[in-house]
A and B are shown apart, each in its own frame.
Chain A
Amino acid sequence: MPFGIILLLVLAALIFFGLLQTVLDRMRLTDTEALAFIGAMIIGSFIDIPISSGATSITLNIGGGLIPVVLAIYILTRSKTPSEWGRAITSAIGTGVILFFLVKTFTFEEGHTIIDPQYIFALVAASLAYILGRSRRSAFIGGIVGVLLLDVAYLIEGLIRRSPIQLHIGGAGLFDAMIISGVLAVIIAEVVGEIRESAQGGSSKEEDRELTVTISDGFIGHDEKGDNSE
């Protein structure tokens, strides 16, 4: 069974049993919303939308491309403060730029690889999002948008070089690099975050101030621990 499918099935089961409540709260999603998105990804991965054909052939897979991007935008719109928006967008664009740089300098040749590219995509998204704002939301958005930006760069490169283009955005459906890097990025940020924050014994003063801002904006903190990690 492909890695992406295992990942989504395990997530669906965990969400169903309420074991991912904390993460979902940080993503500002309800369990019903999360399950609906996973369901849409599964069904949508069987549907491709042709955007253009001929020498520049572009298709968009609903489950592997459209739904993850919609979910990333949906999560972004739930950001409450301008700084949160800024951090998420910066880390998403930053992830895209770093990924482009990585794939152009490192060909991940057989036997020349330290770690597979699809895991590196997630690592970059998670690291950048975590450094910028200890944010699980930004990690997810960065993982999805970073891979999308790689596709955009591939399209631009093809147009500039006037070479034939075969672009299938999210074309691998459930096990496309887009979904895997988005979901893995959240897992990495969450596990690293939890270990670091529990070792630290709570959050720092500055982040407490941000929580006050969030609460005054009408959003009540996601948990009763006083930990405001995003």
Chain B
Amino acid sequence: MSRKESFRVKFILIVTFFLILVSWTLCVYAENELDIDSHFSIVDEEGKSIFSTALTLSIGDVFIDEDNRSYEVMRLDEHTAYARFTGIVDLVPKESSLQKIFSYISAFWGRRSEQPIVIYHTHSDESYVPTSGIDSKYWGDVYQVGKMLKNELERQGYNVIHALENHNPHDGAAYERSRRTVAKYLKDNPIAFIDVHRDAVSREVYSTVVNNQPVTKIALIIGRQNQNKESNMQFAKSLKNETDTNHPGLIKGILLANGNYNQDVGPRMILLEVGAHTNTLEEAERAATFFSSIIPSVVYGTTSTGQRGIKREGSNAARTALWVIVLGVIGVGFYIAINSGGLKGLISKDMTSSLGAWFRRRKKNSNEKEK
């Protein structure tokens, strides 16, 4: 292939690549706009509607509903997700003996009640229309919800940092900006991070009554594209377990979705959707007040079920660490094998690539020592 032809091929490839990206993002954008006020319905294998949500689902997503029934999305058709019922989830199961060993290891690090809880807002603009008249403003109503959480936790005697950083505009880089806020407060040795959001769906989806007061439900979101998925999932399950016991009906469910939401940073990172833009700020604040009463039990282990959740979290974290090491070794081994031309190249003494350099260096060093 001549240089000119090669340039032409590359040019065509780049233009095609760019066009695919543009059309793909435009499609997704259009879909996002469409979803703002529409529902995504989940139906079971028999076609029975299970629930509806504003959250768009992907194949493989897991949703644990209010009654702890777990569904895995198997197929998508426009705004319908066909899910398979996978069983009733035991939110804080008993430990196996292997898990006990892991939890003893993790208990070594311990946790202290003076470690702060950090509350922040990746989507700084999110607001409640019935209260503010608009769904988006520079300092969104979610800061008021965060403030309510902070005040209630402080009233109970706990240390809270409410991050007042603003991550606007509400675009695709918002999570990269809030990642920098998370990193900033990581230096204060916090025990947990709570990213407070609100959803965008019709009013009845999140409206409920708890203790005879109108409140919004809260959905717990866990990203499944990070290594802390298991620990964060256990954290969410423990939060749901405690809330279900003390304020039944407050938690809408747990969604294990695509994405990371900066939850790779730690084992107790949670994203809350406190109601939707169609609910009032007062309802959301009331939900935050109820929710704040159960947080210490799960985060600091002030109740026996909270303690059990913490142990389970610890054993999950230790198991994940083991998996990261195993996968890392497999990945590196695979890479070296390709790099040195297969297994033959890998064990060949006069190989020229990766591992060869190491062997050559070791050989050279031992030869020098002999001299």
Residues of A within 8 A of B (CB): 1-3, 6, 10, 14, 17-22, 64, 94, 98, 101-119, 124, 127-128, 131-132, 147, 150, 154, 157, 163-164, 166, 168, 171-173, 175-177, 190-191, 194-195, 198, 204-206, 223-225
Q: Are B354 and A20 in contact (CB under 8 A)?
A: yes
Q: Are B28 and A18 in contact (CB under 8 A)?
A: no
Would A3 and B226 be within 8 Å (CB), given that A131-B13, A163-B138 are in contact? yes
Q: Are A103 and B173 in contact (CB under 8 A)?
A: yes
Q: Are A3 and B227 in contact (CB under 8 A)?
A: yes
Q: Are A157 and B169 in contact (CB under 8 A)?
A: yes
B347 within 8 A of partner (CB): no
Q: How far is the CA of A194 from the CA of B273 in the complex (A)?
A: 43
Q: Are A172 and B221 in contact (CB under 8 A)?
A: no
Contacts of B259 in A (CB 8 A): 108, 110-111, 113, 115-116
B155 within 8 A of partner (CB): no
Question: Which residue in chain A gives the minimum CB-CB distance to B172?
Answer: A103
Contacts of B6 in A (CB 8 A): 206
Contacts of B261 in A (CB 8 A): 110, 116
Q: Are A154 and B173 in contact (CB under 8 A)?
A: yes
Q: How far is the CA of A2 from the CA of B324 in the complex (A)?
A: 12
Question: Which residue in chain A gives the minimum CB-CB distance to B40?
Answer: A111
Would A101 and B257 be within 8 Å (CB), given that A2-B266, A116-B223, A166-B165 are in contact? no
Q: Which of A21, A101, A224 is close to B354, meaning CB atoms less than 8 Å apart? A: A21
Q: Are B13 and A115 in contact (CB under 8 A)?
A: no
Q: Which of B17, B173, B197, B225 is close to A110, meaning CB atoms less than 8 Å apart? A: B197
Contacts of A224 in B (CB 8 A): 352
9 closest A-B pairs (Cβ-Cβ)? A103-B172, A111-B55, A171-B180, A116-B260, A172-B183, A21-B357, A18-B358, A113-B259, A3-B264
Contacts of B138 in A (CB 8 A): 163-164
B57 within 8 A of partner (CB): yes
Question: Which residue in chain A gives the minimum CB-CB distance to B338?
Answer: A194
Q: How far is the CA of A94 from the CA of B183 in the complex (A)?
A: 28
Contacts of B29 in A (CB 8 A): 105-106
Q: How far is the CA of A114 from the CA of B170 in the complex (A)?
A: 18
Would A223 and B353 be within 8 Å (CB), given that A112-B32, A172-B179 are in contact? yes
Q: Are A114 and B258 in contact (CB under 8 A)?
A: yes
Known contacts A94-B14, A191-B338, A206-B3; can you find 7 more A-B pairs with CB under 8 A?
A: A20-B354, A106-B32, A107-B174, A113-B257, A171-B184, A175-B179, A175-B183
Contacts of B339 in A (CB 8 A): 22, 194
Question: Which residue in chain B gives the minimum CB-CB distance to A206?
Answer: B6
Looking at the assembled complex, report how far the CB atom of B316 sits from the nearest CB atom of chain A, in whole angstroms.
Answer: 14
Q: Are B56 and A101 in contact (CB under 8 A)?
A: no
Q: How far is the CA of A228 from the CA of B53 in the complex (A)?
A: 52
Q: Are A119 and B328 in contact (CB under 8 A)?
A: no
B10 within 8 A of partner (CB): yes
Residues of B within 8 A of A (CB): 1, 3, 6, 10, 13-14, 17-18, 21-22, 25-26, 28-29, 31-32, 35, 53, 55-58, 61, 138, 165-166, 168-177, 179-180, 182-184, 197, 221, 223, 225-227, 255, 257-261, 264-266, 271, 273, 321, 324, 328, 332, 335-336, 338-339, 341, 352-355, 357-358, 361
Q: Are B14 and A131 in contact (CB under 8 A)?
A: yes
Would A206 and B1 be within 8 Å (CB), given that A110-B271, A172-B180, A194-B335 are in contact? yes
Contacts of A118 in B (CB 8 A): 175-176, 179, 260
Contacts of A117 in B (CB 8 A): 172-173, 175-176
Contacts of A195 in B (CB 8 A): 338
Q: Are B338 and A112 in contact (CB under 8 A)?
A: no
Contacts of B176 in A (CB 8 A): 117-118, 147, 150, 177
Q: Are A119 and B352 in contact (CB under 8 A)?
A: no
Q: Are B197 and A102 in contact (CB under 8 A)?
A: no
Q: Are A17 and B17 in contact (CB under 8 A)?
A: no
Contacts of A64 in B (CB 8 A): 183
Contacts of B57 in A (CB 8 A): 111
Contacts of A22 in B (CB 8 A): 339, 353-354, 357
Contacts of A194 in B (CB 8 A): 335, 338-339
Q: Are A19 and B358 in contact (CB under 8 A)?
A: yes
Contacts of A191 in B (CB 8 A): 335, 338
Q: How far is the CA of A108 from the CA of B31 in the complex (A)?
A: 12
Contacts of A101 in B (CB 8 A): 21-22, 25
Q: Which of B55, B184, B225, B357 is close to A18, meaning CB atoms less than 8 Å apart? A: B357
Q: Are B257 and A110 in contact (CB under 8 A)?
A: yes
Q: Are B25 and A106 in contact (CB under 8 A)?
A: yes
Looking at the assembled complex, report how far the CB atom of B137 sits from the nearest CB atom of chain A, in whole angstroms.
Answer: 12
Contacts of A110 in B (CB 8 A): 55, 197, 221, 255, 257, 259, 261, 271, 273
